[in-house]
Chain A
């Protein structure tokens, strides 16, 4: 079947159990809203167009508190508006999935052109320290896979999960075989086993993630974006606040392999490794294949999870490779993370493109040549 990236996202969302969608139209993400409006009502779900992106994520969080798996989708300008609620979801631990189909910015930028400029926004767009997950698929099949994964992670860790892909991945159609939805391993948030009176909403009881009751289910509790204690009540007690912060930051680190996903191509004997994600990784894959056929020992490391960043894997590569070359469609965003992880063990160079055009295999070959890889011409 030939399926578009954005359509695959909508299919995956309903297959993962999403039953609420709220959004606001914006290029190049609108196909997701349109498909959700078709797919959800026959399955007993609700799709609603809100008055803006702030309202969209607000409604998603309300629906999630009512026990529904919920999602919104947007592009850079709308993602900017959503940031306060991303932080609210992180603080109150309300599961949600936010798709950002990246277009060229800043500001209105190039609305129909691809870019990868929202990586840091996904990490630090909202104020304050907070945990976040961001996944970056590079194909239509992977959009499906990681959208399902995003719901699972959101439910398991009670966190906002951002899905980042560029306009090319959103609009490209590729041949995919979708799995039988019944075969998917789906995760539901843990619900309290205690009776309403005995339950403390933010007590993790030795786990990293507390159980969460649906509003209206009989467990009455308080949710606030203020710093809160285990009862969910506002507090300014430094010890309690420090405990909350520590738990929020630790919860994604507990089961790192569940969260930090990546793919390697020809890494075993690679002397120079390209680091790229999304459509840039597709260009890099082509370039690496071409270079290998010409005898060059090069490889590709492709983060499928951007946040938390796969820094241990990069550190390991930095200990083995002669150079790392980062290729991305922005003015240099993950390159800083790669440099931080490489910690001076090997030189890191970047190849950036922010002109609204997809990064091309030639760009990567050129960067490899710049890193001293010979015989590519």
Chain B
């Protein structure tokens, strides 16, 4: 007697969930027993075993085993399994999926699980059809086979799941079949101990639909056909054009299927690789705990009085993407906050990463800032003609407008003080490049308006070190102060 024959499967089963839903002759029950024999042989601790499945007949078998079991959505078991494994790498996570679940709707997840080499065992039960929904065509249905949705025979070529997974980077790829159940134990056991993404395609049968539609007989006949159609065992990966019994019956292609371990490789498992990357990284600085101040009042707040308006200075900075508009806005807001005032900073940008229009909006106040967007500005900086044309009209009476004299031709406007200064040219003179025009402009804007003090701005610039050099940035900002002072002289 083999140890397998002595095994009482009931110790691993939720017998109170039985009878099971599988049809007589279905191959999936053979797979379930092979899984349990492999688990038993390895002596895996059952509290550490998690079975995850998707939707379909094959996916239902996880419900019957007495481990932690997770019956997920159609095609997605690998995504849940990835989260489980990353959260608790000590778990043995086994995914049971079908050919529709794992290769059609869930095909992308299979590719990426293999690519990451996440330490899971993925068992794909391939019966070449959708059993649960009534025998429709699957990505593994061989050409010529009849299905509920291809009554004239399937015309699409079938997927080779093993080649797919090997190509995507899976580190253990094997194929077994229900007609060779003892060999299946070995393959599953090897997959269970493999430290990485282990994939076993298991050829199973659906006599209820696939067998009936293609006149392949019942369970025993289909099993017999599997045996006849083995091309090789542990051979190199063979093209899969395999339907049990079908190809010969139609006098077409010689049936051919390779069984055994088809591909094996070693590379770091994903959660281990993440841990190693962390170990190699410099230790993180933990910021000192800030004082314990509740951020806002909790729960339903009763009727509060209407806010009194504190004076606000609304600043709009506008130009082209890449001109450092957002950074200039940030520096201004940081200068205000560091000086104990309130400020908000909002930005608007187009979908492109570079170029296009760019805009930053900063509001400085000594009170609450109710609305964080600038509708009409008190201060406008325009570093491009386009920005000027767009926003020159959206200013408040008495507004101050600053433009780069070399790029913008302003129009005279009633009640608006417009200053055209050589911002880019000054940046080129001081820094040797026009790139610092945003900082020159910021210096000039602060000198003209006193929206924050010059000292506060200098401190904010020194703290942030834009362009990785506080000295150069301060040179540019001070050149902006100077431009205004020179104009006044």
Contact = CB atoms under 8 A, between A and B. Distances in A.
B83 A22 contact: yes
A42 interface: yes
Interface string A278-311: 0100110110111011000001000000000000
Interface in A149-206: 168, 171-183
Contact of B295 (A60, A142, A218): A142
Contacts of A111: 351
A285 B88 contact: no
Contacts of B370: 282, 285-286, 289
A142 B372 CA distance: 14
A327 to B, nearest CB: 12
Interface in B118-132: none
Interface stretch (B193-201, B296-304, B419-427): B296-304
Contact of B342 (A175, A183, A264, A361): A175
A347 interface: no
Interface in B285-309: 286, 289-296, 298-309
Instruction: Identify the interface centre among B46, B86, B307: most chain A CB within 10 Å of its CB.
Output: B86
Given A58-B83, A261-B300, A267-B303, A67 B88 contact: yes
A2 B73 contact: no
Nearest to B75: A54
Interface stretch (A221-229, A242-250, A334-342): A221-229
A63 B372 contact: no
Interface residues of B, number: 83
A286 B71 CA distance: 50
B301 A262 contact: yes
Contacts of B307: 265, 285, 289
A174 B69 contact: no
Contacts of B70: 62, 65, 215, 222-224
Interface residues of A toward B: which range?
Answer: 35 or more
A59 B90 contact: no
B47 A216 contact: yes
A260 B300 contact: yes
Interface in A62-118: 62-68, 70, 84-85, 88, 111-112
B87 interface: yes
B5 interface: no
Nearest to A214: B88
Contacts of A362: 375
A223 to B, nearest CB: 5
B82 A59 contact: yes
B91 A2 contact: no
A346 to B, nearest CB: 17
Interface string B334-359: 10010000111111111100000000
Interface in A315-334: none
Contacts of B86: 20, 46, 48, 59, 63
Given A172-B346, A179-B294, A225-B71, A263 B304 contact: yes
Contacts of A257: 299-300
Given A168-B372, A216-B47, A223-B71, A112 B350 contact: yes
B480 interface: no
Contacts of A84: 73
A141 B372 CA distance: 13
Interface of A: 1-2, 19-20, 22, 27, 41-42, 46, 48, 50-52, 54-68, 70, 84-85, 88, 111-112, 139, 141-142, 144-145, 168, 171-183, 214-218, 220-226, 231, 233-234, 257, 260-268, 279, 282-283, 285-286, 288-290, 292-293, 299, 313, 358, 360-362
30 contacts: A2-B337, A46-B87, A55-B112, A58-B83, A62-B82, A62-B83, A70-B87, A111-B351, A142-B296, A168-B346, A168-B373, A174-B369, A175-B337, A175-B343, A178-B295, A180-B291, A215-B84, A216-B47, A220-B68, A234-B63, A260-B300, A262-B300, A264-B303, A268-B303, A289-B308, A289-B370, A292-B306, A299-B306, A360-B375, A361-B371
Interface of B: 14, 16-17, 46-48, 50, 52, 63, 66-73, 76, 78-88, 90-91, 108-109, 111-112, 271, 274, 277-278, 281, 283-284, 286, 289-296, 298-309, 330, 333-334, 337, 342-351, 369-373, 375
Given A62-B85, A88-B73, A221-B69, 7 more contacts: A46-B274, A174-B343, A178-B295, A215-B70, A225-B71, A282-B372, A360-B375
